[in-house]
Amino acid sequence: MRINQSLKVEPIIEEKVFTVSEFLDFLNNILKPCKVIVQGEVGEKIDNYPRFTFFRLLDKNGAILQCFTWRDKIESLGMDLESGMEIRVIGYPEIRKDRGELKFQVERIELIGEGILKKQFEILKKKLAALDYFNPSFKKSIPRFCQNIGLITSAYGKGAKKDFLTHLGNFDFQIFFYDVRVEGVLALPEIIEAIKYFNQNFPTIDVLVLTRGGGNWESLQAFNSGEMVKAIFSSKIPIITGIGHEDDETLADLVADLRASTPTHAANILNENWKLASVKIYEFERDFSSLINRIFKNIREKIIFFEKNLTVRIKGEILLKRRGLDDLLRSLNSCFQNYFWKFESLEKEFRRNFLKIKNLIRNQKSKIEEVLENLIKNKNRWKESLEKTLEHQEEKLILSSPHLKLKQGYTITSDEFGKMIKDPSKLKISQEILTKFYKGQILSKIKKIEK
């Protein structure tokens, strides 16, 4: 069954009798798979609850469709529903058993009219920017040389696929094409699914190219939704967008890792580095060859230069050494000459000194001889003089002899110890004393001492 086709319910021919509940379940089972898009104007009564909202969708004929939606579906619009707003709702019908009313379960809401869409765009842009979705620091870098490309676009659109592939150079690219709707209510879920598919199944792919041809503001609605921004932001694979014309700026462009203005531009971006490399590689080849040749030429020239320079330098060195040797010989000669001169003068001086010493010795010798002669001459005189002196001394000795004194009549008195008495004061009365005479001696006792 294809969407947008009219719903055909086969007539039920059964004898079964339903309870009310069973019958409503039976109806809901038929109704729920029928996803449809309904366009209308939002009615005046809007019941907002924290998690869900009830509203009415009206048309010019006064028909009313009761709608139910979860709050996040409205939040993703970036703005609240207002009475009189022209919208499209995507969802399915369901009969509520507790009230017996038909409620349209809204899964997605799309705004209609360029004015309101632009307003929605500005609000969402501001809101998502505040949440850092467009922050350049979160953008993934596109590999310099992309080889594996995931292409997300429509196979039947206004030529975006053709434009991209035609302008993509033949650089052995591997293109994995994922066909999606790029317009209408199914565009958004399909594109989000495609991004997820590549991330899950081709995580090593170099880049994803999300592209579509130009169109009016309403046709680009899928690329201006918060869900699309979040899907692009979450992709691990970098994404290049090439949406619409150059002037069309979508929220997808703002969040993309790189924005190309058109599908052709996206192809050119991917070609650019390959084209450059195709030229540069030959330049490198030429440069390297000429560089290495220049190096060799330089080295050859240096070798020749060194060769010549070396010969001249060696000659110079030899000359210098020879001069040095000559100088050395000269200085050695002069040195020896000096030594010879010094030696000669020393020899002369030595000779002079030797003669002086010789004369000195000679003089000393003659003086000694003279002294000796004098000594010999005066020998007898000294002998006589000495003999006389001796005789005189002998006489003196004889005269002072105690024996002579005794002979002359003197006596010598001594105490009992034989000590000569010269002073009687140290003697005592009755002490015995010995008196020697020339001939004999007497022992006497002291009677009186006179001092």
Partner 1 sequence: MPEEKFNFTKAYQEIEGINEWFQGEEMDLDEALRKYERGMELINKCKDRLKESENKFEEIKKKYLVTE
Toward partner 1, which CB reaches closer, 228 or 255?
A: 228
- Under a CB-based contact definition with an 8 Å cutoff, are residues 138 and 233 in contact? yes
Draw the binding track, 239-278, toward partner 1 (x: CB under 8 A; -: no contact). Answer: -----------------------------------x--xx
The pair phi, psi for residue 17, each rounded to 5°, is -105, 120
Helix (H) or strand (E) holding 129: helix 114-130
Toward partner 1, which CB reaches closer, 23 or 202?
A: 202
Q: Candidates 63-71, 127-135, 172-180, 344-352: pick the segment binding partner 1 (CB under 8 A).
A: 172-180
Toward partner 1, which CB reaches closer, 128 or 168?
A: 168
Q: Both tokens of residue 380?
A: 């007898």
Q: In this structure, what DSSP letter does residue 69 have?
A: E
# residues contacting partner 1 (CB under 8 A): 35
- How far apart CA 241 and CA 117 sit, in angstroms, is 21
Q: In this structure, what DSSP letter does residue 274 have?
A: H
> E strands within 244-383?
258-260
- How far apart CA 266 and CA 161 sit, in angstroms, is 11
Classify residue 212 as exposed, middle or buried by CB count within 10 Å of its CB (0-12, 13-18, 19+).
buried
Q: Candidates 14-22, 142-150, 229-237, 401-409: pick the segment binding partner 1 (CB under 8 A).
A: 142-150
- Under a CB-based contact definition with an 8 Å cutoff, are residues 180 and 190 in contact? yes
Please state the separation of Cα 350 from the chain's center in Å.
83
287 binds partner 1 (CB under 8 A): yes
> Binding to partner 1 (CB under 8 A): which residues in 193-212?
193, 197
Toward partner 1, which CB reaches closer, 39 or 289?
A: 289
164 binds partner 1 (CB under 8 A): no
Toward partner 1, which CB reaches closer, 295 or 449?
A: 295
Residue 301's beta-bridge partner residues? none
C-alpha pair distances (Å), 339 with each of 300, 335, 344:
57, 6, 8
Toward partner 1, which CB reaches closer, 200 or 400?
A: 200
433 binds partner 1 (CB under 8 A): no
When binding is defined by CB under 8 A, the residue of 97, 144, 352, 362 that contacts partner 1 is 144
Q: Candidates 284-292, 316-324, 424-432, 443-451: pick the segment binding partner 1 (CB under 8 A).
A: 284-292
Toward partner 1, which CB reaches closer, 3 or 320?
A: 3
- Under a CB-based contact definition with an 8 Å cutoff, are residues 89 and 57 in contact? yes
- How far apart CA 313 and CA 329 sit, in angstroms, is 24
The pair phi, psi for residue 40, each rounded to 5°, is -175, -175
Q: Both tokens of residue 173?
A: 């690219």
Toward partner 1, which CB reaches closer, 281 or 357?
A: 281
Q: Candidates 139-147, 223-231, 351-359, 398-406: pick the segment binding partner 1 (CB under 8 A).
A: 139-147
434 binds partner 1 (CB under 8 A): no
3 binds partner 1 (CB under 8 A): yes
Give the interface with partner 1 as residue ranges (CB under 8 A).
1-3, 143-145, 147, 165, 168, 170-179, 186, 193, 197, 274, 277-278, 281-282, 284-285, 287-288, 291-292, 295, 299
